[in-house]
Chain A
Amino acid sequence: MSIKKTSLNNLHIKHGAKLVEFAGYQMPIQYKDGIIQEHKYTRSHSGIFDVSHMGQLFISGGDDLTNDLEKIFPADLKKLKTNQSKYSFLMNNKGGIQDDLIITKTSDGFLIILNAACKYNDYEVIKSKLDNQYKLNLDDSLSLIALQGPEAKNVLNKVIPGCDSLKFMNGNNYVYKNEKVYITRSGYTGEDGFEISIKHNDVETFVESLIENGSKLIGLGARDTLRMEAGLCLYGNDLDNDTSPIEANLKWAIPKSRIETEFVGSEVLKNQFQSGVKKLRVGIKPDSKVIARGNTKIYNDKNQEIGKVTSGTFGPSVEHPIAMGYVDNSYSTVNTKIFLEVRGKKIPANICNLPFYKKNYVKGEINV
């Protein structure tokens, strides 16, 4: 399979991007400034992320669509208002996460934003679970741009006036160069921000106008350090087929109204709600400057293995190494002393609260 390019490929190169393959796409890992500067610019001003590799799945048609989707996803879709979004999961029968995603109710159905590496499989799974009754469109005619940071609202408002009135986890249709764009207020950095779904033809001009208004292109490298500081999960690292939302400490994303109802994986989840889980995702702060990356083994003070790190890096804004991972539930309390095995040495660390970096979202949703 040949490597795919997003519509911004030329612009990435023009801005000095180092390109890497990610989920079958050639994507920028960083630009000239480097990961730390890009990270800090997003936190202090605003950053533009090309996330066009992610899946944009539109589902429409039929009065029973909401009901049928609730048999798949553990979200309260009946209560969703048009243009409102929820974070949810596609699970397997064992309650393991096949993908984490954002569902938005649109005027004629739902839009689901899927992870790039999962999108084709998700499409097949969802289509088959819906018995081919509805119109599914994994739309490859659209780019997806995230604009994140405290200045995101001011920058975007200059290019597309009116979007600053959007509330967090809400979206709406806007017009850019006589074409419809769909904007949601959401993101993956711990900052206020937006995701803009826009036609391929218009995306380069659109991004250039964001740059003209003071924003900068940010690569996947800083996207990763930003989301880790914000305590957010990366599918494939922190979430996988053998991990449930309860184990991932994402219980908040399963509304109480859905716990007793049926959806894929509901039996396992219901059981975990009642009896608890064996492992739990936690924040980890090493005592020293040593960085513990994914797959680092975690030990207790008796040298027994109690879990492993799933993501770890140096947090440029918190100026300290940070990590998250799964530990035996009895070690998940904040301030529990643990040890990380890095290059043969046991590095002391503490279980800590997530996020490492405090969120700065615009309010409008209690469920965050």
Chain B
Amino acid sequence: MSEVKYSKEHEWIKLDGDEATIGITKHATEMLGDIVFAELPEKGSNVDKDGTAGVVESTKAASDVYSPVSGEVIDTNQMIVDDPSKINEDPEESAWFFKLKIKDKSEIDSLMSKEEYEKFAKETSA
């Protein structure tokens, strides 16, 4: 059973052994509004925990996407580059951003559970 954790920058990370899939939360897409552009990290590149790993833009503004953990990018989701509106439609499933080979699994410990994130999102958007 794969585990999903959340960051304070509104990313979700689904863990599967040494690998992880990362995307942005539904709450994030609701704050952003209609997403019209997505930029992803390059396959094979390394990203740092809390480092910039992509960009999403709504009609209003651009926002960075951060990686919740460090690792090597092993896959990216071309679908959301071709049709960024998919991110609004299905942010926590098919519209994932990138997959990582995790460098240091202990970095996961600082991330939030679903319940913790929901509480955090509610408090910060109030």
List the interface of chain A (C-beta within 8 A of B).
Answer: 29-30, 34-37, 39, 221, 225, 289-291, 293, 313-314, 316, 321, 343
The 5 closest A-B pairs by CB, nearest first: A314-B36, A36-B34, A35-B59, A34-B34, A291-B57
Closest chain B residue, CB of each to CB of A320: B36
Closest chain B residue, CB of each to CB of A20: B60
The answer on a CB contact under 8 Å between B55 and A35 is: no
User: Could you say which of B37, B57, B60 contacts A35, with CB atoms under 8 Å apart?
Assistant: B60
Closest chain A residue, CB of each to CB of B55: A343
Q: For the complex, give the distance between the alpha carbons of A291 and B55 in Å.
A: 11
Q: For the complex, give the distance between the alpha carbons of A39 and B34 in Å.
A: 11
Residues of B within 8 A of A35 (CB): 33-34, 58-60
Q: For the complex, give the distance between the alpha carbons of A168 and B62 in Å.
A: 37
The answer on a CB contact under 8 Å between B60 and A29 is: yes
User: Could you say which of A289, A290, A316, A343 contacts B59, with CB atoms under 8 Å apart?
Assistant: A316
Task: Give residues of chain B (74-126) contacting chain A, Cβ–Cβ below 8 Å.
Answer: 81, 85
User: How many B residues touch the partner, as a band?
Assistant: 10 to 19
Residues of A within 8 A of B58 (CB): 35
Q: For the complex, give the distance between the alpha carbons of A221 and B33 in Å.
A: 10
List the interface of chain B (C-beta within 8 A of A).
Answer: 33-34, 36-37, 39, 55, 57-62, 81, 85
Could you list 25 examples of A-B contacts with CB < 8 Å? A29-B60, A30-B33, A35-B34, A35-B58, A35-B59, A35-B60, A36-B34, A36-B36, A36-B59, A36-B85, A37-B34, A221-B59, A225-B59, A289-B37, A289-B81, A290-B37, A290-B39, A291-B37, A291-B62, A313-B59, A314-B57, A316-B36, A316-B59, A321-B37, A343-B55
Residues of B within 8 A of A36 (CB): 34, 36, 59, 85
**Majority secondary structure, A binding face:** mixed
Q: For the complex, give the distance between the alpha carbons of A36 and B59 in Å.
A: 8
Residues of A within 8 A of B61 (CB): 293
How far does the Cβ of B101 sit from chain A's closest Cβ, in whole Å? Answer: 25
Residues of A within 8 A of B36 (CB): 36, 291, 314, 316
Residues of A within 8 A of B85 (CB): 36
Closest chain A residue, CB of each to CB of B52: A343
Residues of A within 8 A of B62 (CB): 291, 293
The answer on a CB contact under 8 Å between A314 and B55 is: no
Other than the given A316-B36, A321-B37, 16 more pairs (CB < 8 A) read: A29-B60, A30-B33, A34-B34, A35-B33, A36-B34, A36-B59, A39-B59, A221-B60, A289-B37, A290-B37, A291-B37, A291-B62, A293-B61, A293-B62, A314-B36, A343-B55
Q: For the complex, give the distance between the alpha carbons of A30 and B32 in Å.
A: 12
Q: For the complex, give the distance between the alpha carbons of A30 and B36 in Å.
A: 16
Q: For the complex, give the distance between the alpha carbons of A31 and B36 in Å.
A: 18
Q: For the complex, give the distance between the alpha carbons of A321 and B81 in Å.
A: 14
